[in-house]
């Protein structure tokens, strides 16, 4: 009986060795498969990169280099596919990006009426709060009491939250402005009703697409002139409350186009809540919107998440740049999060 445990203990190392060997073999098999996959990924990325055009941040692709929406979307799909980001497929299609003609702009929403609404909301808040924060940001020429300025040409924007529980920025300004817009809508202000309806329609549309209830988190009305082009950038995801998708409603004073270029760039952000402003990018193509159209993109398409590594650096992100072709326009940008 005393020998049995000795025998067992003599056998034990042999079994352990075999297991270790098996594990080692499995590990090296996995490593060689991973190396093979990495090599294949690099090859695909290299091949893909060669088909795109390299631009500096401040350069716009020349007219001859413009690539239309269909080809642009197919390139976005290739970029996402390389990183397997289309599995499971995004509810917006493989590109995670589309023009949503289903969300109609109310005819009551015009550039002038939205300016009027923004002013009305701004002054109502300033009166009520007597808070320098709401008046201190005013541009003397525009009188937008609650508006911040942004971008090289100083576009104005009004943050208005979009639901009662939306944070609407660190100051809570968006929530206050949204409450004002809702109260104007209750008093039959046509523009305010149009904005509330736009968000209601948007919510129904994106919730239907994603098959789960989404709600508006942050929303801004951005007023810009033709000089106010945005630089090439990738949006932040707003993590930890990362947006599921973002809608951008475009409206101009007259019939006009808005060109949004898409590209992919090395992503050296430390934090995905920040915007990415790359020094160069690979041009993928253009999305051209008519006044009144909306585009919707998921967090990857809007640049809120990395898309690839390898040949493009540690991480890459989809980037975009917005160029209105009209002198005077408004974009209403809404971040949709899980309800």
Binding site for Fe ion (CB under 5 A): 235
CA 264 vs. chain centroid, Å, equals: 13
Give 180 or 246: the residue with its C-beta nearer to Fe ion.
Answer: 246
- How far are the Cα atoms of 98, 160, 171, 231, 326 from residue 92, in angstroms, in the given order? 7, 26, 32, 25, 28
Question: Between residues 235 and 286, which has the closer beta carbon with respect to Fe ion?
Answer: 235
- SS3 state of residue 184: helix
| Closer Cβ to Fe ion, 182 or 235, answer by number | 235
Three-state DSSP class for residue 128: helix
Q: Cis omega (within 30 of 0) on the bond before 125?
A: no
Q: Encoding tokens for residue 112?
A: 């002038």
Among 50, 65, 46, which residue's Cα sits nearest to residue 261?
65
201/235 with CB nearer Fe ion: 235
Question: Least CB distance from residue 259 to Fe ion, whole Å?
Answer: 14
Q: Alpha-carbon distance 205 to 238, whole Å?
A: 22
- CA proximity to 218, closest of 232, 231, 199, 204: 199
- Minimum separation from the CB atom of position 309 to Fe ion (A): 23
**Euclidean distance between CA atoms 264 and 135, whole angstroms:** 39
Give Cα 21 to chain centroid, integer Å: 48
Smallest gap from Cβ 274 to Fe ion, in A, equals 12
Residue with CB nearest Fe ion? 235
Between 119 and 242, name the residue whose CB sits nearer to Fe ion.
242
CB of 148 to Fe ion, least distance (A): 16
Q: Which is nearer to Fe ion, 173 or 260 (CB)?
A: 260
- Between 217 and 235, name the residue whose CB sits nearer to Fe ion: 235
> Given the structure tokens 């350069």, which residue do they identify?
59
- Read off the tokens for 291: 């006044």
What the block records as the tokens of 132 is: 């320098």
Q: Residue 180 and residue 157: Cα distance in Å, rounded?
A: 16
* 184/243 with CB nearer Fe ion: 243
Question: Residues 146, 122: contact at Cβ < 8 Å?
Answer: yes
Provide, rounded to whole angstroms, the least separation between the CB of residue 205 and Fe ion: 20
Q: Are 219 and 333 in contact (CB under 8 A)?
A: yes
In the complex, least distance from residue 231 CB atom to Fe ion, rounded to whole angstroms:
10
- Least distance between Fe ion and beta carbon 299 (Å): 12
Could you tell me the smallest distance in angstroms from the CB atom of residue 21 to Fe ion? 54
């Amino acid at each position: 009986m005393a020998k049995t445990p000795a025998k067992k203990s003599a056998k034990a190392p042999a079994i352990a060795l075999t297991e270790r060997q098996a594990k080692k073999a499995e590990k090296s098999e996995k490593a060689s498969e991973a190396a093979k996959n990495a090599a294949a990924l690099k090859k695909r990325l290299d091949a893909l990169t060669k088909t795109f055009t390299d631009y500096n941040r401040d350069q716009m692709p020349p007219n001859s280099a413009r690539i239309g929406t269909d080809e642009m979307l197919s390139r976005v799909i290739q970029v996402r596919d390389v990183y397997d980001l289309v599995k499971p497929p995004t509810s917006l299609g493989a590109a995670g990006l589309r023009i949503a003609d289903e969300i109609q702009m109310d005819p009551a929403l015009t550039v002038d009426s939205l300016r009027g609404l923004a002013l009305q909301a701004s002054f109502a808040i300033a009166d009520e709060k007597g808070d320098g924060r709401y008046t201190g940001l005013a541009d003397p020429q525009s009188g937008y009491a609650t508006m911040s300025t942004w971008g090289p040409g100083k576009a104005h924007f009004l943050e208005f939250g979009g639901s009662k529980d939306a944070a609407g920025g660190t100051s809570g300004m968006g929530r206050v402005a949204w409450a004002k817009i809702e109260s104007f809508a209750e008093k039959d202000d046509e523009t305010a009703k149009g904005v509330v309806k736009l968000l209601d329609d948007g919510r129904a549309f994106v919730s239907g697409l994603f098959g789960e209830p989404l709600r508006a988190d942050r929303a801004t009305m951005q007023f810009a002139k033709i000089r106010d082009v945005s630089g090439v950038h990738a949006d932040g995801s707003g993590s930890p409350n990362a947006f599921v998708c973002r809608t951008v409603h475009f409206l101009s004073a007259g019939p006009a186009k808005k060109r949004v270029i898409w590209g992919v760039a090395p992503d050296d952000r430390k934090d995905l809540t920040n915007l990415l402003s790359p020094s160069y990018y690979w041009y993928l193509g253009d999305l051209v919107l008519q006044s009144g159209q909306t585009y919707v993109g998921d967090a990857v398409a809007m640049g809120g998440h990395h898309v690839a590594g390898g040949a493009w650096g540690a991480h890459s992100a989809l980037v975009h740049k917005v160029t209105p072709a009209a002198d005077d326009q408004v974009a209403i940008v809404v971040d949709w999060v899980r309800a």
